Structure 1
C-alpha cells in the first residue's frame, strides 16, 4: 500500500439519506432534514465526470494473492473529490498488478435516478457505490446482479456481522461492504476530562453545563428520525422490523425510548431540531458534548477543539443495562443487473473489500470505519481515536432497514417527532406515536 500519499481526511457523509437511512454512499453531506430522513451516507455532487484510472508504470508485478480479470470495469458513484482521489489511487495499484484490467469511475450527480434510467435499458455500469439501504428496493426492481456463486464462507466470515447482513437481501448476495458508520458521543476534552461511561454520568455533565439563559447547553444534538433512533431502539423498540416488514412506533419499548429521550436529553438541548444550529453550539464551545457522525469531524477539527469520541453510554433501567442503538449504515459496492464484465468486476471488488491493506488505507486516509475484522483488530487502527471511537459505536448500532417498505416509515417517524416538538413537556407521546403508526400502515397499504 502506498503510504502518505494524501493527508488524513475524514469523510463527510450525507444525511440522510439515512437513511437515514443512512448514510453512506461514499460522500458527503450531513443528515440535516427534519421532515425526511434518508441515509446519512448518501451524497450529492455537482458535475458528472468520467475518470479512467490507468495502470502505474512503476507497478507491474502481479502477486500470487491477486486474482486478475481482463477488460474494463465501470463504476458509478457520487463520491466527494477527496474520496475519489483515494479510490483512484487504489485502483491504479490494482491495475498495476493486473495490467489487462481497466477500472473506470464515472461520477453521477443524481446517482439513483441515473441508475434507474440506465440499468433497465442495458446502459448501466458494472458496479456502483452507495449505502446498503438501497439493496432492497434495487433488488425488488430487478436492478441488481446476484453474486451468490462468488461469496464463499471464508469471504463472508471475514466481515463484521453488521456488514455481512448489509450485503444480502432475501437470501441473495448483491454487494460487498467496505466501511460502516453511525453516530457517537463527541466530547470537548477541555470541558469533559473523562468520557462518560454510563448515561447517569452523561446526564451529570449535561446538568453541569446547561445554562439556557446564557445560550449554553448540556448537549448539542440534531434531531430527526435518524438521530433519535438511538433512543427509540434502546429498550428493544424499533421504527421498522426488516424481518416482519412492519413498523413499530406503537410498540411499548419504542414509546419508552421516545419518552426517555424527551425526559432526559431534550431538557438540556437548545429548543431547535436544526442540524446546523445544534452543531454550531458545540463548535462554539457552548456545549460540552455533541451527538453526531464521522461526517462532522472535519468541522470539529477546524474549530480547534480537543475532542474524543465514544459510543453513547449505556442506560441502567430496572436493574438492567441498555445500550442506545442508533441506526448504522454500511458502504457497499453493488453489482448492477446487466453487468458486462462480471468476472473481472468480482475479482477487483474482492481484492478491494477483503484486502486488509486496502481497507486500512481507506480508514487512515478517509476516516472510514472498517468492517473487515482483521483491520478492526489492527493496532494502528485501534490507536486512532476517531476511527476507534466510531468503530466501537458501530458495535451497538442497529442496521438500517433494507426493505423498500422502510420508505413509508421515515415520514411518519419524523411527523411524530415534529408533533411532539410542538409542546414537548405536555405531549402525549404514546398517542402521537400510535397515530403515526397507523398513518405508516395506511401508506404501506396504499
Structure 2
C-alpha cells in the first residue's frame, strides 16, 4: 500500500443513487461474439489503465490483465503515471492525455462527477452488462452519483486492530482491556510502546471520533458534526490511546514499532497483512474494541475501477475494453477470493462474501467494515480533511485541548464549504 492510499486525505465526492442496472455478467470486452469475448471477428480494443498499487498488488494485477487480454482479445495498457495520482489526472484529462480507466478508492467519485469543464468521469450505465445487484449494497452506492455509473467496485478496506499473539494472550474486547495491556508494555525510554497508530490521520482515527454516534460529516445535512458532544467524547477516547504511541505520528514511524515487536498492538488496514505476516510470526487481527459498549465507526473505502471521461470520445472498442476488464475482474469469484487470500482485500462481490470461505484476518476486517461507514463522497467532504488533520496534530502535540480544537476545525470547515 503506497503512502497516498495510506493517508486517504483527499476523500471528495457527491451524493449517490442506485442506477438499477440489469443484465448478465460479461466475461470479456470488445472484439467478442457476446459469449466469451474471444473470437467474434472484430479486432480487440485497446484501453489505458492507470494504477498506483503496492508491489504485490501490482504484480497480481498485471497477471490478471494478461489473462484478460488472452481471453478477450483486448489490449490493456497499464502504467503508473508517477507522483500523486489525482494531480496527474487533473493535468492529463484536460489535455486529452488521460487514461481510459484508473484504480482508486471510491472517495473521488463525487468530486470528479461534478466537474463539467472538462468532465472527468464517464457514465457507463449503457456499456456495463453486469447487474450491480451482484455487489454489496454499500459497494453499489459507492460507485454511483446522481444515477450515473462511474466505476465498478472490487474490494473494501478500513482499519482494524492487529495484535502480536506472542505479547497478547487474548485480543481486547473493550477499550479498558486494551489500555490495561498497553500499560504493561509501554516504556518509551526503552523504545517500547503500547500501540502503533497514525493518530493525526483522520481516516485512521475516524472510528474513535464517531464511536458515540457523531459524524465527522453528516451525509444528510451535508455539514460536519465535529463540534458536537458526541464527537468530543470520541476525541476524548482517542486521547486515551494516543498517549501510548511513538512520538512521531507519521505512518512509517508508527508501523515500524509494531513490525519490530516494540508494541503489542497496531491499528492499520488490510494492506499491511502481507507485510506484517513476514515480520511477526503469530499475527492476529480483530475488530476495534468497544468504547463504552459502542463499536468504533471507522471510515471505509471501496476500491474501484473508475471510468474516465476520455471514454466519451473514444471508439466503442476502447469503451468495451475498459468496461470489459472492469466487469471481468470485479465479478470473477476466483479473482476476488484469491485477492482476499493473498492481498487481504475485503470482498464486495456478494457471492464471495456470503460463501464464508475467508481467512480469519479478512473476516475481522469485513466485520469492522460492517461496524463503520463509507467515506462520504459529497464534494463538501473535501473541506473536512485538512482542518481535522491540523486539529488532531495540535492536540497530539499538546498545543490545544481537544474540545477547542474540534470547535476550531468545525468552524474552518464551514467557512471553506
TM-score, length basis structure 2: 0.83
Work out the CA distance in 2 between the residues paired with 1:279 and 1:287: 10
Q: Which runs of 5+ in 2 are unaligned?
A: 13-27
What's 2:17 paired with? none
Q: Structure 1 residues 90, 192: closer, same or farther in 2, change over 3 A?
A: same
**Shift, 1:309, TM fit:** 0.6
Which residue pairs with 2:3 in the alignment?
14
Note if contact 1:16-1:22 (Cα within 8 Å) is conserved in structure 2: no
2:395 is aligned with 1:406? no
SS in 2 for 1:86: helix
1:163 to 114, 132, 139: 139
Compared CA separation, residues 64 and 126, structure 1 to 2 (3 A): same
1:144 to 117, 121, 134: 121
Alignment equivalent of 2:340, drawn from 359, 363, 367:
363
The superposition leaves residues 336-377 of structure 1 with CA deviations (integer Å, 9 ceiling, x where unpaired) of 113022234323321211121121232233332221122223
Q: CA 1:65 to 1:279, structure 2 compared with 1: closer, same or farther past 3 Å?
A: same
Q: Paired residue for 1:257?
A: 234
Q: Is the 8 A contact 2:11 2:376 kept in 1?
A: no
Distance 1:338 1:389, change over 3 A: same
Distance 2:177 2:166 in 1: 17
Residue 300 of structure 2 is aligned to residue 324 of structure 1: no
Contact kept? 2:11, 2:108, Cα under 8 Å:
no
Structure 2 CA distance for partners of 1:254 and 1:150, relative to 1, 3 Å: farther
The 1:365–1:287 alpha-carbon spacing in structure 2 relative to 1, beyond 3 Å, is closer
Query: What residue number does 1:58 align with?
Result: none
Alignment match of 2:106 (pick from 132, 140, 143) = 132
Q: Is the 8 A contact 2:387 2:412 kept in 1?
A: yes
Question: Equivalent residue for 1:91?
Answer: 65
331-340 or 301-310, which deviates more: 301-310
Evaluate the alpha carbon distance shift between residue 81 and residue 186 of structure 1 in structure 2; reply closer, same or farther with a 3 A threshold: closer
* Equivalent residue, structure 1, for 2:80: 107
CA separation of 1:66/1:377 partners in 2, compared to 1, >3 Å: closer, same or farther?
farther
Distance 1:271 1:147 in 2: 47
Taking structure 1 as the reference length, the TM-score comes to 0.78
Task: Specify which structure has the bigger relative contact order, considering alpha-carbon pairs within 8 angstroms and separated by 6 or more residues.
Answer: 2
Q: Distance in 2 between matches of 1:432 and 1:159?
A: 39
C-alpha distance after superposition, 1:211-268 (max 9, x if no partner): 4454433222221122221101111112223343322211221111001221x32333
2: CA distance between counterparts of 1:226 and 1:363? 22
Aligned partner of residue 240 in structure 1, secondary structure = coil
Please tell me whether the aligned partners of residues 212 and 233 of structure 2 are also in contact (alpha carbons under 8 angstroms).
yes
Q: Is the 8 A contact 1:359 1:375 kept in 2?
A: yes
Quote the residue 2:48 is aligned against. 74
Secondary structure of the residue that 1:377 maps to in structure 2? helix
Seen in structure 2, the aligned counterparts of structure 1 residues 199 and 151 have a Cα distance that, compared at 3 Å, is: farther
Aligned equivalent of 1:385: 360
Counterparts of 2:256 and 2:56, CA distance in 1:
24
The residue aligned with 2:404 is 431
